[in-house]
Amino acid sequence: MKRSYKSFFILLLIPLLVGMGNSIFGEDPADKIPIPEHKFTAIYIDQMDVITECKEVSIQGKTFLEGKRGKGTHAIPFEKIKNILFVIKNGELKGRIQLKDKSKTELILKKDHKAYGHTKYGTFQIKLINLKKMILVSKGQKIKGN
């Protein structure tokens, strides 16, 4: 009787696991990215100095940067950020944030979080640990080449 319960339980789990697709392994489908509530434009520069211009950008689907400073967790909205420099130091991913009011701060970020956006040719996603810099483009500011 125990064997039939195990078989039944496994049969119930199979559709659930198959439906999860790549997300069970931590991979997101390349063509499906979160659509943020607020629209921001940014320039991403990765660790190989490849520049990618994106609209509808987000980090983990949100339009704020979340990280630790001391024992606290901070969330800085994109509208206050000018740019973020990503630096790996002592095994931690640090975001050195320059705010639009010219002040600076630093947060410890999660390495596996992803930045998303739409390019003129499709979707874009990259882990924060693979970024060198993110420049948020102000409304009315021209992006080179557009």
Domain that holds residue 76: 29-137
Cβ atoms 95, 133 nearer than 8 A: no
**Residue 112 belongs to some domain of the structure:** yes
Q: Per residue in 78-102, pLDDT tens?
A: 999 999 999 999 999 999 999 999 9
Cβ atoms 128, 108 nearer than 8 A: no
Instruction: Give which of 114, 72, 75, 76 is closest to 93, Cα–Cα.
Output: 114
Residues 8-27: what's their mean pLDDT?
54
Amino acid at 48: M
- Interstrand relation of 92-99 and 104-109 (parallel, antiparallel or unpaired): antiparallel
**Residue 142 belongs to some domain of the structure:** no
**Residue 24 belongs to some domain of the structure:** no
Quote the pTM value.
0.76
**Residue 146 belongs to some domain of the structure:** no
**Residue 20 belongs to some domain of the structure:** no
Q: Domains in the chain: how many in total?
A: 1
Q: Per residue in 90-135, pLDDT tens?
A: 999 999 999 999 999 999 999 999 999 999 999 999 999 999 999 9
**Residue 119 belongs to some domain of the structure:** yes
**Residue 113 belongs to some domain of the structure:** yes
